[in-house]
Structure 1
Amino acid sequence: MGKAVRNDLHGLEISHKELQTLTNLPVKDELIIIINPFKKIVKDILEKIKGSEGATVVFLSFSTVVFGYVLFDIFIKIFATWITIPSWLLLIFLLIWGGSFTQIFLYYWWKKRLKTLKSHMTHSLQILLQDVDRYNAVIKAIDINDQIEEAGNPEVRIQKREKVIEALQLTRSDLVRALKTERILRENKSFILRNTELFVNNLATLTAMQVTEQATEHGRLLNEAFQIALDVQSEMKKLQSQEGVEGIGG
């Protein structure tokens, strides 16, 4: 989001890190390219050079490079006297070799995490991740709209902003709750399949409570729980069917 994001948008976005914590899976995992941090450092240095402290930045950057090379050269001359090639050439070779090895390791580690994600991905989780993307996109759109307004376009101001933010907060809570529920069901699938009667009994209890409390606020919450229970029971039947087919196939 923008650098000057408004306070009421802080904490609303569901970040990749939070998503991984909620699902206990490497969702939205991206391959780390080791050259990117160096590109960012060079870019920051070039931007600072254009400023009033340009000469200082150039001096510090050059001094850091030279000091690092001098330390490496001294180390080679003391502990690796058998090396005959110039130390600067050796340093370049080691940097290229080390960078290549690290990048290959990061690639295979990333592929392994993708494989883990694919093996644990459920239809429900896939839908929830799409919902999170749409939710985050709405927040991004609001942030961009705020920046356009602050640039001198008051006509784009969001009407009833408080209600919009409140709705987003409720949506966020729903998404977090759904992600936690999906993780519990996914990580306890085998237990649930062995104890389906427990969930059937809970469903019957929820049904009875829903009938008597329909008109109350508590009844509204129970109705939501009832709908969730119905979805859970439906998913359990699907899982049982899959287990039965696998058992016959085995």
Structure 2
Amino acid sequence: MFHEDLITVRDDLKGLDISLSELQYLTNLPVNDELVIIINPIKQTLQSFIQKAKGPEGATTIFLVITILVVIYLVFDILAKSLIIGTFIPSWILLIAFVGVGAAITQLILYLIWKQKKKLVKTNITPSLEMLLIDVDRYNAVIKAIDINDQIEAAGNLGVTIKERSKVIEALQLTKADLIRALKTERILRENRKFIISNSELFMNNLATLTAMQVPEQASEHGKLLNEALQIALDVQHEMRRLQNQH
């Protein structure tokens, strides 16, 4: 979620977000899965190469890349001449065609896998899970907003400092715990539709503690963040109650 290119993420935010892999593990569904476009990693590789080429070890980087490309071409040339007899097509054209066809086939396979995952999610998703996924997005957005604010502050803008930051982080920790509990409960109920949950501790949440932390200063930055966390927690509690009523 975070980008640490310019400014390091503060320790109290690290691991506070709910990552895609964690979300998919909690739901046991490939939710929010995006189609992999193979051109994107190629672009990232090229950008990384350009950055390294501009650095102090640029000459070494360029030499290594050229060496790798030459070796790949020579190996392909030998294989092409030994396997494809009687062709007058230059090896470099065959290599480009091979890479193009391979990329197209790979992209098709990735697309089919992605479509299958989308179908699986559409078949198994419940209204409660849809709402919880929205709450997770909102929760992660709050953390991202704090991270951006931290970067602005670190750039020298001390006037944007979040007051009572520890309270905000504590509220987010409580909210994350409730979200994870709700996602686990939803999964159990979804995968065991005829099973009545007997573990009452799954339905206990930290709402009372979180409500006690709500501050009256609605206009303050930390007040807004606390109240946003509270609203997410209220939504989670609502979904938990609806889950209980459905089973």
Q: Same fold (TM over 0.5)?
A: yes
Q: d(CA) in 2 for partners of 1:106 and 1:175? A: 31
Q: Quick one: which of 28, 51, 54 aligns to 1:50?
A: 54
Task: Give the 3 Å change call, closer, same or farther, for CA 49–227 of structure 1 in structure 2.
Answer: closer
In structure 2, C-alpha distance between the alignment counterparts of 1:2 and 1:230, rounded to whole Å: 37
State the alpha-carbon separation in 2 of the partners of residues 155 and 44 from structure 1. 35
Which moves more between the two structures, 25-34 or 74-83?
74-83
Within the alignment, does 1:136 sit opposite 2:140 as a pair? yes
Change (3 A) 1:232 1:83: same
Report how far residue 86 of structure 1 moved. 1.6
CA distance 1:39–1:227, shift in 2 (3 Å): closer
Q: Structure 1 unaligned segments of length 5 or more: list them.
A: 193-197, 207-216, 218-223, 237-250
Of the three residues 221, 231, 238, the one matched with 2:242 is 231
Q: Aligned-pair RMSD on alpha carbons?
A: 2.5
Q: TM-score, normalized by length of structure 2?
A: 0.78
Quote the Cα distance in structure 2 between the aligned partners of 1:85 and 1:92. 12
> Shift of the alpha carbon at 1:124?
0.3
**Aligned ranges for residues 143-222 of structure 1 at < 5 Å?**
143-189=147-193, 191-192=194-195
Which is richer in helix?
Answer: 1
Larger radius of gyration: 1
Identity %: 53
Aligned to 2:24: 20
User: Where in structure 2 are there 5+ consecutive unaligned residues?
Assistant: 202-208, 210-233
Give the corresponding residue for 1:72: 76
CA positional deviation for 1:172: 0.4
Distance in 2 of aligned mates of 1:27 and 1:115: 11
- For residues 204-240 of structure 1, the C-alpha deviation after alignment (integer angstroms, 9 at most, x for no partner) is x99xxxxxxxxxx9xxxxxx9x98885344213xxxx
TM-score with structure 1 setting the length: 0.77
Aligned partners of 1:2 and 1:147 also within 8 Å: no
Q: Distance in 2 between matches of 1:52 and 1:67?
A: 25
Superposed displacement of residue 35, structure 1: 1.5
Of the three residues 29, 34, 41, the one matched with 1:37 is 41
